[in-house]
Amino acid sequence: MNMFLYEMKSLRKSMIIWTLSMLGLAALYLSIYPSMAKDAEDFKKLLESYPEAIRAMLGINLDYIASLLGFYSMIFSFIILCGAIQAMNLGVSILSKESRERTADFLLVKPVSRTAIVSAKLLSALTTVVITNILFISLTTLMANIAKTEDFSVKLFIMINLTMFFVQIIFIAIGMVVSVFFKKIKNVLPISLGFVFGFYMIGALLVTDSSDKVERILSPFKYFDITYIIQKGNYEPLYLIIGAAIVIVSVSVSYIIYNKKDIHAVS
């Protein structure tokens, strides 16, 4: 419990910054919606001039773009990118921090198992993203109700926002397994940005529409098709299973390797 509370305290500042940044981005775009809704036809014509691949990458569906949910799905692709970076940072840093800050020897001589250390750190990362998402979903729902020009489904709005939480869980797991394969990590950010933008670009380059394609498996950003959520009011079971499998395998491998690896302070 002491390790968990210590980790939460150390992650508090980062959590506040990321939460405020994503809320600010959402507030900025949602404030534009009322004026866009008044000129919806002109806005549609503008977007029609975009290549289909660009519209698919940004999650733009012309049939829904005039609605609040459709408009939000377009801006949400940028917000979820920020959430993924936050999660990847957490995943990479929680197990590499002791070596980077030269406190590994101090921690590992304590009468506590490595499994308990990993569990406490993982729980702190999960708690961080849970708090981030509770605040984000609550406040963006309030913003959407203020910005709306007509009624919209709050349930679907929350379901769209929850996809960020699911993607963050996947990236925490990926970050953990990546970190245990590195002997020394001096700087977390380049690794986090490299993996997140790499997956984002894979999704952008390989997926040009929302149909079920094998390529979607290659990018967690494409596991949750917002147009599908708006139409069906549900998530796609196949990609939920794939996401869960990635998390289970990555976390399991992280536990196994961390329990066996030699941990040294970064010189």
Flag whether pLDDT at 9 surpasses 70: yes
Per the structure, the complete domain to which residue 25 belongs is given by: 2-260
The answer to whether 176 touches 250, Cβ cutoff 8 Å, is yes
Name the pTM for this structure.
0.88
- 53 pLDDT band, cuts 50/70/90, is low
From CA 167, how far away is CA 148, in angstroms rounded? 27
Please indicate, yes or no, if residue 182 is contained in any of the structural domains. Answer: yes
Q: Of 80-94, 116-130, 152-166, 204-218, which gets the smallest average pLDDT? A: 204-218
What separation in angstroms does the CA of 259 have from each of 56, 153, 254?
Answer: 42, 47, 8
From CA 177, how far away is CA 56, in angstroms rounded? 30
Please indicate, yes or no, if residue 85 is contained in any of the structural domains. Answer: yes
What domain count does the chain have?
A: 1
Task: List, for residues 138-185, the tens digit of each pLDDT value.
Answer: 999 999 999 887 888 899 999 999 999 999 999 999 999 998 887 777
Q: 133 or 33: which carries more pLDDT confidence?
A: 133
Neighbours of 87 (CB within 10 A): 29
From CA 180, how far away is CA 215, in angstroms rounded? 27
Flag whether pLDDT at 213 surpasses 80: no
13: exposed, middle or buried (Cβ count in 10 Å: 0-12, 13-18, 19+): exposed
Please indicate, yes or no, if residue 47 is contained in any of the structural domains. Answer: yes
Please indicate, yes or no, if residue 267 is contained in any of the structural domains. Answer: no
Task: List, for residues 115-150, the tens digit of each pLDDT value.
Answer: 888 888 899 999 999 999 999 999 999 999 998 878
Please indicate, yes or no, if residue 158 is contained in any of the structural domains. Answer: yes
Task: List, for residues 230-263, the tens digit of each pLDDT value.
Answer: 888 899 999 999 999 999 999 999 999 888 776 6
